[in-house]
Structure 1
Amino acid sequence: MVMTALTLCLGLALLAAAPGRAAAGTGAARTKAPQPRSALAPRPATPTTADELHRPDAAHAAEPATSPSHRPPLSTVKAAPRKASGKDTEAACAVSDFTSKTGDALVQQIKGSETDCINTLFSVAGQDAKALFREEQMVTVANALRAASADYPGDNTGSMTQMVLYLRAGYYVQYGNPEDVGPYGSALKSAIQGALDAFFASPHAFDVSEANGETLAETVTLIDSSSENARFLTVLTRLLKDYNSSYNAFWWMVSAVNNSYTVLFRGHWLPEFVSAVQADPSVLTVLRGFAVAHDDLLGTDKSYLVSNAGRELGRFLQHAELREQTSPLVKELLGRSEITGRTAPLWVGLAEMTDAYDKGNCSLYGTCDLQNRVRDAVLKDKHTCGPTLRIVAQQMTDADFTATCDSLLKQDAYFHSVVKDNGPVANDNNSTIEVVVFDSSAEYQTYAGIIYGISTDNGGMYLEGDPAKEGNLPRFIAYEAEWERPDFAIWNLNHEYTHYLDGRFDMYGDFEENMKTPTVMWVEGFAEYISYSYRGLTYDNAITEAGKGTYKLSTLFDTTYENTDTTRTYPWGYLAVRYLIQSHPQDVDTLLGHYRKGDWAAARTLLTETIGTRYDADFADWLAKCSAGSCDSTTHA
């Protein structure tokens, strides 16, 4: 996939319980630099098992060693609303139901709504944002949360989760749109402190159950949303000290523990948080103790709990006043783990922190020349397919190399037969691509960030670089789809290779240049189209979506990484591109002619004015036929 702001959906929605797997049909990110993944965005679709929980982004290791002047954004990502109830409540969920109410009426509206309805409020702006989340409204809800906490029964019968989620949404929207919402001051700070104090003091706040876990996990995140990280350090240490194997039966309880790491991570941007740890550094030994006590989780689907403990311990190295206490604990944990094997997630997380925050003492930790050291230890298998393609892998057989080379090299001819190009676009020197293949999704999550400086909460990543620069080497960072074993398959292989070809022969300039106007429909939809049509596969998910008729073609022309989700990006992008190629090939030729010259304005005019809404009715008819069986054929063009 190509994107900057959509790291959200790539690892969430998935085919089974393969950790870190991207949604079926989704691709990796084509980008020049990793984007931080927000912990405070709307709730994503609930993973089906706890092994799909996501750790704080490894790319955060590269934050500056001195505290920045402001915290990371509350959101760089718009996550898909969580459908908790299984009901289709969108039609019954209207923003006006909330904006028209104040006081107790507002509280009752929140409590009477589904959590998926409350989750839609993260996306409001303008006057709706002010009506929903001005300080007076937030104080009202915070006070209601405090009052309800006294009798909290350990489940959501009193709609505590909805109130917490509403408050989270308020902080989220106010951070991104302060001019719409207005300022937050002492009144809200006092109210939210009282609400959180009351909740965490309630007898059932830490009950180990799924019913309590959902409210607890959201409330832990609310600590950070409200910037009360310092005040509730003891809550975080309690969760880490209390965790045991009984939590593992409940996804939300494990999530609550893991959310503690997010509160710790983002606390470093608050001076009062750092001062609180200086006054009571016990959180350091708690993190070390968690990693030691739960060493048995390494190598399992809950490795991230231990690696996160090490990572968040090591992050305290950035503060000179805490380095003396932190350094020996980090060194000890590095000594208890290794660069490869079962304990590698812990070692890598710790090593990243030493490299980011105490690099001058790398010899003390044994982490000097870290990037090269890890790359050489992990990516040992190499193969050259030809002058345009080479593969670097963690573990591939000769047969695996041969099959992969054959698939990609034959795709070249198919791609050119579809786009009918006249060679590379001007100033594109990306004549060779390197495909990097890790042994599994877990290995990708462990190593890709430290070697290539990327986010790993996705299905892989295409790094285009600057194609105009001589010697630039584009890379597709990928992993073996371990769930396909004993068959060998590289996840998103043909989709991502299409991004390389499309970028070289269809899209002028680099990724940033390509995104000057909305091009996501083409970039992602075309990658899906080539991937499925080249392999002769029926895209079942797209056919299902066609039957729903959700989008007009003219709407899909406007798809960006900021306004989309996996469904709109991939199956709907595929449907739009397939329709245009089949029904209006002359328009595709014109569009690509503009893209190849970098004439983004002309391409935009073609889509939004020349075509505009003229094809919407025909597209709707085409979708109906597609759903009825015309798209079942593996002959796409």
Structure 2
Amino acid sequence: MTLVLTLVLAIGVFAPLSQAAAPTPTPGASTPGGETPTTTPTRLAPPSATGENPADRAMAKMDGGRRSTSDQPLPEPLAPQVPGLAPEQQPVAKALGLGAEAADAAEKPCNVGDFTSRTGSALVQQIKSSDYWCINSLFKIGLGDAVNAFRESQMVSVAYAVRDAANSYQGNDSGSISELMLYLQAGYYVEFYNEKVVGPYGDALLTASRAALDAFYANPRSRDVTPDNAGPLFGATTLMDSTQDAGHYLPVIRRLLNDYDSAAWSRANMAWAVNPVFFTLSRGPDQAGYRAVVNADPGVMDALFTFASRNHDLIGTDLGPMVYNAATELGRFMQYPEFLPKLRPYVSPQIAQSSPSGPSKYVRGTLTWWALHYDKGNCAYYGICDDPAKFRAANLTVKYTCSPSITIVAQALDSTQLGAACASLTGQDAFFHAVARDSGPVRDDNNGTIEVVVFHTDFDYKVLAAVIFDISTNNGGMYLEGDPAAAGNQPRFVCYENKWASSFEIWNLNHEYTHYLDGRFNVYGDYDAGQVQPIDWWVEGFAEFVSWSYRKAVNTDAVAVASQHTYKLSELFDTVYARSSQDRVYRWGYLAVRYMLEQHRSDVDAVLAKYRAGDWDGARAILKTTIGTRYDADFDSWLTRCAAGACAADTPGRPQLPECAGGDVRQLGANCVRSNVAATTGNYAHFYLTVPAGTKQVKITTSGGTGNGDLYYNPGSWAYTNSHVFRSTNPDNSETLTVTNPPAGYVFFGLYAQQGFSGVSVTSEM
């Protein structure tokens, strides 16, 4: 087995990532162009509708499996990309100069007992005699074995073995140093996400890890620019990040940045071996004492500036992301006021060399964000005072009116994609209202339109959306509600195309749209108004529930966690986004909301009545006192049924309304449906409804079938295209009309066939 092959998975590329809780959103002060500020409050989307973003999973391997809990909203450094490889296969393959043939690689499962049953030198020898592919599988070790494989005493033994191998390092893997470092990376990864199981790592391992890496970097062969050194060096720079000890390694980081020669390192398959140092730096601000160390040794800022300047011509090439990474880490130091005098003459020329459009926009974008946040008073010095507006004008060039209430603004969508997105959004209205059973917008909510902003890739979102909208982008999308009571407020949600899907898809499109509808029809006021009591179980759980159910898709990740019985229902009512894992917020939120809707609908209606009125304490009393722990045992039984297949229905939780009574197919009733409605092109399907006195709202929705029917309303006589009060004219059969305070007696609706339709369902609710 050659060194190159054994290193393809040197940092656990295929190991799954259980993401840490996403950082709290950082609100902004204004939007571009002098618009009314709408960047707060916010509602987040999950990193993925089907699990973690594969690109994030790949990045986690590139950075040693860590995820930052920093509140810095800009993305972490970029991991490399290889055309033809799945995202999770990218990082190490690219780092070693491998191509798409790496996609054929497969893990070699280990006999876990070979590691859990050995300690000390016996464990070290077992690791040395094992295959990389085998060790890589330990990133997915079962929790029952994790403590015996990776408890601190085991890790200390392996770290000192790395030190011994480093002292005699010959510039290649003859001493199995790469296998040993991989084992340490796996241990750090597993402990990071399962500290309660593995036990915390302390000073003993920190001392041993420092000894190991110090010995490696002290060996002059670690500076060899050869293919044989590529893998061990990459493993060492990755392990450096795993230790979360950035301050200690600043001299090494400075050396690596200064030694880097893109041409020579590329010829030696070492081009990406320096990249993990940017991950190490990105986590530095989270670590105790880091700021003081940088104050004592600020030379790393000189090295970052020199690296970015010397390699500026790499922008637009495969290695360009490292220039972006260097610029990002240079900008990150701007959060410390004492460094600003040193940084200004470094940041300004980097911005001047870049543009709001073209390949250099990411470098300018990241530096603009840092400068506007931490040195805004000097924005003229950098020439960036109006950069948010410039970035929007240069990149969000597509505008499409989807419906009277929905506008899509995009970076690169074509007409077919715009039509598909529009149809998905407009078709969701009827489903949402059928589930929510609302009575129209909540009091003081004037958010009658939504702007849907779609970036071309997740990275465009992470960098460009941060600059344009001044938001946190360490997430899967964001709904910016603003103040719904303010005149001129423009709510919007910001998302991106899913480039790793097999066909066109916008990531979290329906989840984010649910936030808009939920905020308008179910939750009084803005997002912050509801945060006086825990409400995120509903806000995120309901968005997940509607998104999955409307799309008739099975939430397989939620089904999987259901089998673990991790939480009681009463505990889930206490979920707070900022203090909870992604699983708890999104997957368990979905399960809690689904259970309550399916099993205890009247309780949901009671809670929603309080949410709609802004009575947060009243809602909390229902959840924690009226309900309390009464449903915990039943919820636990329901989870068992869910995991066994009950949650795998094609239309989970989809409300079913009865067929309208009476022989006249034109007659509608309260909360019923007329199915299989049809009309030929240019003709109508007419309907009437008897409205009792005092009715607050009548809602008519159409869905399904073929063709295109437009919906019209008239209160006094049959509704036609030239005789109506309201209309809904979407490009398919997904139409909704809501009439508030309708007159008592007969009201009329007409479904006009712009294109002959059949199989349409017409639902009436009041």
Q: Which amino acid aligns with 2:323?
A: V
Task: Pick the structure with more helix per residue.
Answer: 1
- Residue 597 of structure 2, aligned match among 574, 581, 591: 581
Q: Which amino acid aligns with 1:286?
A: F
Cα distance per residue 1:208-232 (max 9 Å; x no partner):
5785366324323146525314332
Partner of 1:624: 644
- Residue 215 of structure 1, aligned match among 210, 220, 235: 235
Q: Distance in 2 between matches of 1:106 and 1:114?
A: 12
Partner of 2:306: 285
Q: Which amino acid aligns with 2:510?
A: N
Percent identity among equivalent residues?
33
Alpha-carbon contact 2:47-2:476 (below 8 Å) kept? no
Q: Structure 2 matches for 1:383-532, cutoff 5 A? A: 383=400, 388-396=405-413, 404-426=421-443, 428-467=445-484, 472-482=489-499, 489-512=505-528, 514=530, 520=536, 522-532=538-548
Alpha-carbon contact 1:171-1:226 (below 8 Å) kept? no
Distance change >3 Å, CA 464–CA 607, structure 1 → 2: farther
Alpha-carbon contact 1:156-1:211 (below 8 Å) kept? no
Cα distance, 1:569 vs structure 2: 5.4
Cα distance per residue 1:162-209 (max 9 Å; x no partner):
3356568889999x9xxx97996xx98766543321022343587657
Alpha-carbon contact 1:221-1:259 (below 8 Å) kept? yes
Q: Which amino acid aligns with 1:464?
A: E
Partner of 2:274: 257
1:49 matched to 2:90: yes
Cα distance per residue 1:77-102 (max 9 Å; x no partner):
xxxxxxx9686999x899xx89xx99
Q: Distance in 1 between matches of 2:299 and 2:59?
A: 39
1:352 matched to 2:400: no
Q: Distance in 2 between matches of 1:387 and 1:401?
A: 15
Q: Which amino acid aligns with 2:553?
A: T
Alpha-carbon contact 2:74-2:474 (below 8 Å) kept? no
Q: Distance in 1 between matches of 2:529 and 2:606?
A: 19
Partner of 2:553: 538
Cα distance, 1:139 vs structure 2: 7.4
Q: Structure 2 matches for 1:56-455, cutoff 5 A? A: 143=160, 145-151=162-168, 154=173, 155=176, 158-163=179-184, 166=187, 193-202=210-219, 203=221, 208=227, 212=232, 215-222=235-242, 224-225=244-245, 227-237=247-257, 240-241=260-261, 246=266, 254=272, 256-265=273-282, 269-278=290-299, 281-292=302-313, 294-297=314-317, 303-315=320-332, 327=344, 330-383=347-400, 388-396=405-413, 404-426=421-443, 428-455=445-472
Partner SS state of residue 454, structure 2: strand
Q: Distance in 1 between matches of 2:517 and 2:58?
A: 26
Greater Cα radius of gyration, structure 1 or 2: 2
Partner SS state of residue 465, structure 2: helix
Q: Which amino acid aligns with 2:634?
A: R
Cα distance, 1:344 vs structure 2: 1.5
Cα distance, 1:288 vs structure 2: 1.6
Partner SS state of residue 631, structure 1: coil
Q: Which amino acid aligns with 1:620?
A: T
Distance change >3 Å, CA 603–CA 620, structure 1 → 2: same
Cα distance per residue 1:513-541 (max 9 Å; x no partner):
65666655543343233224334x332x5
Distance change >3 Å, CA 248–CA 232, structure 1 → 2: closer
Cα distance per residue 1:315-358 (max 9 Å; x no partner):
56677887677555544443443211222112222333443455
Q: Distance in 2 between matches of 1:115 and 1:9?
A: 24
Gaps of 5+ in 2: 1-20, 25-43, 61-70, 78-85, 95-105, 656-766
Cα distance, 1:499 vs structure 2: 1.5
Alpha-carbon contact 1:17-1:52 (below 8 Å) kept? no
Q: Which amino acid aligns with 1:631?
A: A
Cα distance per residue 1:25-63 (max 9 Å; x no partner):
xxxxxxxx9757789xxxxx982223999xxxxxxxxxx
Q: Which amino acid aligns with 1:220?
A: M
Q: TM-score, normalising length from structure 1?
A: 0.68
Q: Which amino acid aligns with 1:290?
A: N
Distance change >3 Å, CA 354–CA 110, structure 1 → 2: same
Partner of 1:58: none
Q: Which amino acid aligns with 1:47?
A: E
Distance change >3 Å, CA 510–CA 132, structure 1 → 2: farther
Distance change >3 Å, CA 579–CA 329, structure 1 → 2: closer
Partner of 1:74: none
Distance change >3 Å, CA 547–CA 165, structure 1 → 2: closer
Q: Which amino acid aligns with 2:629?
A: E
Relative contact order higher in (CA < 8 Å, ≥ 6 apart): 1
Q: Distance in 2 between matches of 1:321 and 1:244?
A: 37
Alpha-carbon contact 2:58-2:88 (below 8 Å) kept? no
Partner of 1:550: 563
Q: Distance in 1 between matches of 2:193 and 2:235?
A: 18
Q: Which amino acid aligns with 1:505?
A: F
Count of aligned residue pairs for this structure pair: 564
Distance change >3 Å, CA 525–CA 469, structure 1 → 2: same
Q: Distance in 1 between matches of 2:207 and 2:53?
A: 44
Q: Distance in 1 between matches of 2:505 and 2:430?
A: 21
Q: Which amino acid aligns with 1:451?
A: I
Distance change >3 Å, CA 603–CA 469, structure 1 → 2: farther
Distance change >3 Å, CA 595–CA 331, structure 1 → 2: closer
- Residue 633 of structure 2, aligned match among 606, 609, 613: 613
Pick which of 240-249 and 498-507 moved more: 240-249
Cα distance, 1:609 vs structure 2: 1.1
Distance change >3 Å, CA 199–CA 370, structure 1 → 2: same
Q: Distance in 1 between matches of 2:344 and 2:522?
A: 50
Q: Distance in 2 between matches of 1:448 and 1:52?
A: 30
Distance change >3 Å, CA 553–CA 415, structure 1 → 2: farther
Distance change >3 Å, CA 585–CA 554, structure 1 → 2: farther
Alpha-carbon contact 1:378-1:394 (below 8 Å) kept? yes
1:636 matched to 2:649: no
Q: Distance in 2 between matches of 1:617 and 1:188?
A: 43
Distance change >3 Å, CA 604–CA 274, structure 1 → 2: same
Partner of 1:27: none
Q: Which amino acid aligns with 2:450?
A: I
Cα distance, 1:460 vs structure 2: 1.7
Q: Which amino acid aligns with 1:538?
A: A
Partner SS state of residue 605, structure 2: helix
Pick which of 417-426 and 495-504 moved more: 417-426
Cα distance per residue 1:217-276 (max 9 Å; x no partner):
4323146525314332344325644686749979xx83x533212334455752332443
Q: Distance in 1 between matches of 2:541 and 2:338?
A: 51
Q: Which amino acid aligns with 1:551?
A: Q
Partner of 1:57: none
Cα distance, 1:448 vs structure 2: 0.6
